[in-house]
A = this chain, B = another copy of it.
Amino acid sequence: MNRIVFSIFLAAVFSVSAFADEGMWLYTAPPKQVLKEKFNFDVTDAWLEHLQKSSVRFNSGGSGSFVSPDGLVLSNHHVGADALHKFSDAEHNYLRDGFYARTRAEEKRCLDLELNVLYSIEDVTDRVNAAVKPDMTAETAFAARRAVMAEIEKESLDKTGLRSDVVTLYQGGQYHLYRFKKYTDVRLVFAPEQQAAFFGGDPDNFEYPRFDLDICIFRAYENDKPARVDHYLTWSPNGVADGELVFVSGHPGSTARQLTMTELQFLRDRQFPYALRRLYTLEVALLAYSNRTEENARRAKDLLFGVQNSRKARDGMFAALLDPQIMDAKLASERKLRDAVAKLPDAKDILSAWDTIDAAQKIVADNFLDSALLEGGHGFSSSFFDIARTILRAIEEKPKPNGERLREFRDSNLESLEFQLFSEEPLYDDFEQLKLSAGLTWLVSHKGLSDPLVQKVLAGKSPRDRAAELIAGTKLRDVALRKKLYAATPDEVKAANDPMIELARLIDADARAVRKILEAQGEIVDQAHAKITRARFAIEGPTAYPDATFTLRLAFGVVKGYQQDGQMIPFQTTMAGLYARAAEHNFQPPFNLPKTWIDRKDKLDLSTPFNFVSTADIIGGNSGSPVVNRAGEFVGIIFDGNIQSLVLDFAFTETQARAVSVNSQAILHALEKIYDAPDLAAELRGK
């Protein structure tokens, strides 16, 4: 999912009308009134449940949906890319060349892909908050909250067998228990060539008009058989009409709309400049590596896409944060809320929440860099380091009572964690060395060579030499060894003397210490936000939606073009447009076409709708979300937002911001005419 904004194009309108197509709504609190009043649409419980249980979360970071009773799951190519990349090798470049299993036997099992389907939601706010006493220190309060959340999750897992996560909403205003059905046997059915999925590459990313077949089709299995699912979306062969109401059901990753000005300023002044510097550094290193050989390019491709995508998104978001029009609007809205709060009976207590956040934010800022370098692992960027640290900490955490562990080691999460840790994903020494060398150089550049921890980490070597030595020395590429160490005693792990685990150990006290500080401040901030949220509900009524948290949400909007530079951009493109755009750029990369699309051009009905835009409120993480019509039928799949949508992280606007989707018609047409996949198309058609 891909977002950027040139604030220069943005109209000043950021005060959202009561009838804007705004919102990433909880399934427990859908926007029934707006839908009724504006669109005369009644949201029924059955409609809602069907869409919820047809929606799929990709734990690798995206969304999708069931589209056949036999467990067919549709998502984006760029969501599936992680899986495609992991089972490719020097001889098979599935990410670049695509894949199609003509029989079920050919469907190819993904190495570590976990899908989640949301089955039930329970509000556990009172139970979570009851565990936290008013006189507790922040640290104790955090521990108490973590413990009760782990307890609730464990109880639920034991009772239902479902993956159970307590999720934090409204920045701590509410806590909900989400229960998911989990699929870990997921097989690849179809992927087009990356050049069909990502035609236009980085230059066209976050742009519109577009011409991308950004899809990837998997099948969920249970007990080695295709999963039979009760809820799946029926396919509309009719696509969308201009002005039509549509819904998006997916997992927006993260927004920052309810942050205070202080928190936004921290993002603007520290977090974004830091993150962008890191992305620029990584992008240049990955490009230089990729340009050396084709095999290098293949190894780096998935990470490079992620880095470039984040960079373009964050460039745009940073521009939004630097845009006085946007920040002034945020300031005005905060002032308005504070003025309203000032009239409430407990005004003084509520207003103090802003001061509390300001004070906490200072401590966060002071510890931000160490947190990123050590706990965030930016100083040690290698998959081997991540594996090493997970093993090191697992040994220490697992013997503790469930509620006292670092949160990722809670009982209810161990199965998912082990699924990732024991992945057979191929890791390449030269590529790991490149990343680790860049990480160590990053560490030195930020903490200075004379820092005692840096000195210990480098052990008298240059970053490059040290990275080479660590990668050559570690044995963690062996999954059997990972399993053995994960089950071993602390002494046995120490005796194994793996240099990467020993590196993780070297920095672990510091990493844990800074994490502890940030967790305590997080607790303080959550409590303060909870206060503000309660006040907001008291003033505006409990109709607001929470900021995105990679949990299932419902958005709505209309299919609609927009004005840009005095021109009307139509709501949809056609397949003819793909060929025209390629010709405009002389078919040069990244505007070249795959051979299949060149050879079979005359088999296509070029007037077939390809991509379309709508006003639905989406953000990164929504990639792969189904777009459905009033009847709940699948009409398209979200794969991008336009450049003007990048501001959506901070505030909603529908003047120009648009979600970009692949039309359901284009998918069938391409499967039938380009990819010789009539059986697959028939399964989607429900035939």
Using a CB–CB cutoff of 8 Å, the interface residues on chain A facing chain B are 6-8, 201-203, 268-269, 273, 276-277, 279-281, 283-284, 287-288, 291-294, 311-312, 318-319, 322-325, 441, 444-445, 448-449, 460-465, 468, 585-586, 588, 590
Contacts and interface: CB of A to CB of B under 8 A. Distances in A.
A291 B465 CA distance: 35
Contacts of A311: 284
> Which of A311, A449, A468 has most chain B Cβ within 10 Å?
A449
A287 B288 CA distance: 12
Nearest to A460: B324
A323 B462 contact: yes
A449 B291 contact: no
B449 A288 contact: no
Contacts of A465: 7-8, 323
B324 A312 contact: no
Contacts of A7: 462, 464-465
A277 to B, nearest CB: 6
Nearest to A324: B460
A322 to B, nearest CB: 5
B269 A449 contact: yes
A448 B322 contact: no
A182 B359 CA distance: 64
A194 B311 CA distance: 30
A445 B273 contact: yes
B269 A288 contact: no
B203 A291 contact: yes
> Which of A202, A268, A284, A460 has most chain B Cβ within 10 Å?
A284
A318 B461 contact: no
A277 B280 CA distance: 8
Given A8-B465, A468-B8, A322 B449 contact: yes
A294 B587 CA distance: 12
13 contacts: A7-B464, A7-B465, A8-B464, A203-B291, A203-B292, A277-B277, A280-B284, A287-B287, A288-B312, A293-B585, A294-B585, A319-B441, A322-B441
Nearest to A468: B8
Nearest to A461: B324
A449 B445 CA distance: 24
Tallying the copies of this chain within the complex gives 2
A449 B268 contact: yes
Given A8-B468, A202-B288, A322-B464, 14 more contacts: A6-B464, A8-B462, A8-B464, A8-B465, A269-B448, A273-B445, A280-B280, A280-B283, A283-B284, A284-B284, A284-B311, A293-B585, A319-B464, A324-B462
Contact of A202 (B291, B449, B461): B291
A318 B203 contact: no
B284 A318 contact: no
A463 B449 CA distance: 34
Nearest to A269: B448
A291 B284 CA distance: 15
Nearest to A282: B280
Contacts of A268: 449
A464 B7 CA distance: 8
A554 B81 CA distance: 55
> Which of A276, A311, A468 has most chain B Cβ within 10 Å?
A276
Contacts of A269: 448-449
A487 to B, nearest CB: 36
A7 B232 CA distance: 57
A462 B288 contact: no
Contacts of A276: 281, 445
A469 to B, nearest CB: 10
Contacts of A448: 269
B444 A322 contact: yes
Contacts of A461: 324
A590 B297 CA distance: 13
Contacts of A293: 585
Contacts of A324: 460-462
B284 A277 contact: no
A590 to B, nearest CB: 7
Nearest to A465: B8
A660 B363 CA distance: 53
A87 B6 CA distance: 32
A296 to B, nearest CB: 9
A414 B675 CA distance: 68
Contacts of A590: 291
A620 to B, nearest CB: 19
Contacts of A464: 6-8, 319, 322-323
Nearest to A590: B291
Contacts of A445: 273, 276
Given A277-B281, A445-B273, A463 B322 contact: yes
A36 to B, nearest CB: 39
Nearest to A283: B284
A397 to B, nearest CB: 34
A283 B287 CA distance: 11
A677 B280 CA distance: 44
B322 A462 contact: yes
Contacts of A277: 277, 280-281
A465 B280 CA distance: 23
A362 to B, nearest CB: 15
Contacts of A441: 318-319, 322
A77 B513 CA distance: 55
A7 B440 CA distance: 15
Nearest to A433: B8
A300 B270 CA distance: 30
7 pairs of A and B residues whose beta carbons are closest in the complex: A280-B280, A323-B462, A273-B445, A203-B291, A203-B292, A322-B462, A280-B284
Nearest to A284: B280
B273 A203 contact: no
Nearest to A464: B8
Contacts of A318: 441
Nearest to A281: B280
A354 B290 CA distance: 45
